[in-house]
Structure 1
Amino acid sequence: MTAERTVTLRRLAWAGVEVRAGNVRVVVDALQNTADLAGFQGAPRRPMPGIEAPPGVRTHAFITHLHPDHYDRKLLAGIAADEGSSVGCHTPIVDVLAEAGVPAVPQELGERREFGPFATIPVASHDWRGDDQVAWIVEAPGLRVIHFGDTIWHGRWWQIARDHGPFDVAFLPIAGVLTRRDGFTPTNQPATLTPEQAVEAAVVLEASTACAIHYDLFNNPPYYTEQHDVRGRFLRAAHARGIHAVAPDDGEPVPFRPLVAAPGAA
């Protein structure tokens, strides 16, 4: 069977992504509660799709870092309390989650965790203000994807590609946001990948499909300002580089071109 028939991908709101195989799913950076974002990122521009699991489906949730648009504490606490479900994180933040009432399974960079039909591996990523941040590789039968929360451009793309690539899908932020907040000297450098940088990352990662995330839902100048026409720029840059790129709306399935079978898959 092909990967499209055995595993489904869905883009959730903002940076959220769902990978589902039968009655088990992995969600990365799922977001449902946005009250804590109002002062910096503003209110969401539209209603966000629900992320409730269908009856009988177990959820394993992962976060790339602790910024509140990627770390929904209330949502994660509920998932952690569900029998058969779990929360996963990079080891340096496990104590922070525990103190917030979210028990989590920690993983070191490069450490592989297997559960049900899935395996996850955290790999290097870089945050604009130096906070702990990782990218998550998710493997399922016939499929390998990688999710970058809101990374900036960095020098670890090539090592990730050598160690873990190629990828069927790379989920990449494209908003290229400019930020202004107390305690940080303002600059004109983007705090996330620009559309063009996201495409170049997909090239290095040897991703069969590049999927845009982390754009269009929040825009709150002058504190949090998305660059212009990011979706169009992303698709045009990908076309120029010969990359299959998609930008599904919130809650929509992610169409992709399967590339490789994940290690150990039949």
Structure 2
Amino acid sequence: MTMRYTNHDGRQRAFPIRHILRRQTGWHAERQPRSPRTGVPVPVVHNDGSILQSGQDLLTWIGHSSFLLQLAGCNMLIDPVMSVSLGGVVPRNVAPGLSWSALPKQIDVVMITHNHRDHMDVPTLKRLGTTPLYLVPHGMKQWFLRAGFPHVQELEWWQQTDVFGIKVTFVPAEHWSRRGLLDMNTSWWGGFVIEHDGFRAYHAGDTAWFEGFSEIGRRCGPIDVAMLPIGAYAPRWFMRHQHMDPDDAMKAFAALGAELFVAMHWGTFKLTDEPLQEPPLRLRDLWHKAHLPASRLAIPAIGQSLQLVRGAALELANSAG
């Protein structure tokens, strides 16, 4: 019998056909005018990769949910997607913030939060090759082994592993998984907390708001840097069970008790109805209304490297070559 994974509350997300048709046809109260999928200006900086050789602890946004995290001399990619489109269907709005030539020559670890195509891109994985250690959710190991990736470790929620002296914990998220017609929820989904020498970075993966954020903060904190998704949220009646909007992301940030909010999951692929430029505008407005310190919010440009500093939130690194 095939195992089917569930969310934190023991439930699986359901997508009735009538709801899918309502969303696709626009027959609902939250209908918005069509907005462009490509050619939308979003902040981008040129990063030729020279700063990545500096030996500093850096976090570089490649776009969408893809990051290069360099910590304690280890090069880690999280949800790397370098392709020009998702399966030839959803085009990329802007190029990846790091080209293949700009990436470090050695990638030590690749972390995959779940198997959706905007987080697990097979052409990118094939080009990364068999050398890295792949950390994947429970239920995905056999796929990687069959695809020719021998160095793979699958993790259950709250399971910890040590890689190159860095502690990695796989933590819950509120989402679902699927790549084909018959594999709904046959592998897990989640986020990662990455810890070294008292510094902790959290990547939420794809997630809706759920009560588990408080537990993540309690069990894995204090969290210095929280990479949280802010886009792909409209219409809310359909998306609220799978993606956060900026309001939900701020609630998650507060529940985590994190020091720094790093925004992600916007501006790269148009997956939902809101304009690609909208999420950071809403987030900045909410941040201002909440009277939160500007130093605790980072909305990086695609390609921008952020310097991770012990005992402080973050410094913007000069990512231009």
Q: Does structure 1 residue 247 correspond to structure 2 residue 299?
A: yes
Code of the residue aligned with 2:139 in structure 1: it is P
Identity %: 20
Task: Provide structure 2 residue ranges, at least 5 long, that are not aligned to the other structure.
Answer: 1-54, 178-183, 313-321
Are the equivalent residues in 2 in contact too, given 1:64–1:70 (CA < 8 A)?
yes
Cα distance in structure 2, aligned partners of 1:142 and 1:155: 25
Q: Does structure 1 residue 134 correspond to structure 2 residue 185?
A: no
Cα distance in structure 1, aligned partners of 2:259 and 2:239: 32
Are the equivalent residues in 2 in contact too, given 1:121–1:138 (CA < 8 A)?
yes
**1:185-223: CA deviations, max 9, x gaps?**
x83646411011111111111111001000011225xxx
Q: Does structure 1 residue 99 correspond to structure 2 residue 146?
A: yes
Code of the residue aligned with 1:155 in structure 2: it is E
Are the equivalent residues in 2 in contact too, given 1:118–1:138 (CA < 8 A)?
yes
Q: How does 1:101-120 map to 2 (within 5 A)?
A: 101-103=148-150, 104-120=152-168
| 2:286 match | 237
Task: Provide structure 1 residue ranges, at least 5 long, that are not aligned to the other structure.
Answer: 180-185, 261-266
**1:112-132: CA deviations, max 9, x gaps?**
211224221101111167843
Which of 27, 42, 47 is equivalent to 2:95? 47
Are the equivalent residues in 2 in contact too, given 1:7–1:140 (CA < 8 A)?
no
Q: Does structure 1 residue 206 correspond to structure 2 residue 260?
A: no
Code of the residue aligned with 1:136 in structure 2: it is F
Are the equivalent residues in 1 in contact too, given 2:59–2:68 (CA < 8 A)?
yes
Alpha-carbon RMSD across the aligned residues, in angstroms, is: 2.8
Are the equivalent residues in 1 in contact too, given 2:190–2:206 (CA < 8 A)?
no
| 1:193 match | 244
Q: CA deviation at 1:102?
A: 3.3
Moved more, 248-257 or 193-202: 248-257
Secondary structure of 2:268's aligned partner: coil
Q: Does structure 1 residue 31 correspond to structure 2 residue 78?
A: no
Q: CA deviation at 1:74?
A: 2.6
**1:36-91: CA deviations, max 9, x gaps?**
3443xx21112223255324x34200010000110022322343512xx2111122
Which of 50, 55, 64 is equivalent to 2:113? 64
Q: 1:120 to 1:210 in 2, by over 3 A?
A: same
Q: CA deviation at 1:237?
A: 2.0
Q: 1:237 to 1:257 in 2, by over 3 A?
A: farther
Cα distance in structure 2, aligned partners of 1:249 and 1:22: 24
Q: 1:233 to 1:178 in 2, by over 3 A?
A: closer
TM-score of the superposed pair, with normalisation by structure 1? 0.80
Cα distance in structure 1, aligned partners of 2:83 and 2:60: 19
Code of the residue aligned with 2:301 in structure 1: it is D
Secondary structure of 2:250's aligned partner: helix
| 1:150 match | 206
Which of 2, 7, 19 is equivalent to 2:57? 7
Are the equivalent residues in 2 in contact too, given 1:174–1:212 (CA < 8 A)?
yes
Are the equivalent residues in 1 in contact too, given 2:84–2:95 (CA < 8 A)?
no
Code of the residue aligned with 2:302 in structure 1: it is D
TM-score of the superposed pair, with normalisation by structure 2? 0.68
Q: How does 1:219-230 map to 2 (within 5 A)?
A: 219=270, 224-226=272-274, 229-230=278-279
Which of 67, 71, 88 is equivalent to 2:135? 88
Between structure 1 and structure 2, the one with the greater Rg is: 2
Q: CA deviation at 1:145?
A: 0.6
Q: CA deviation at 1:141?
A: 3.1
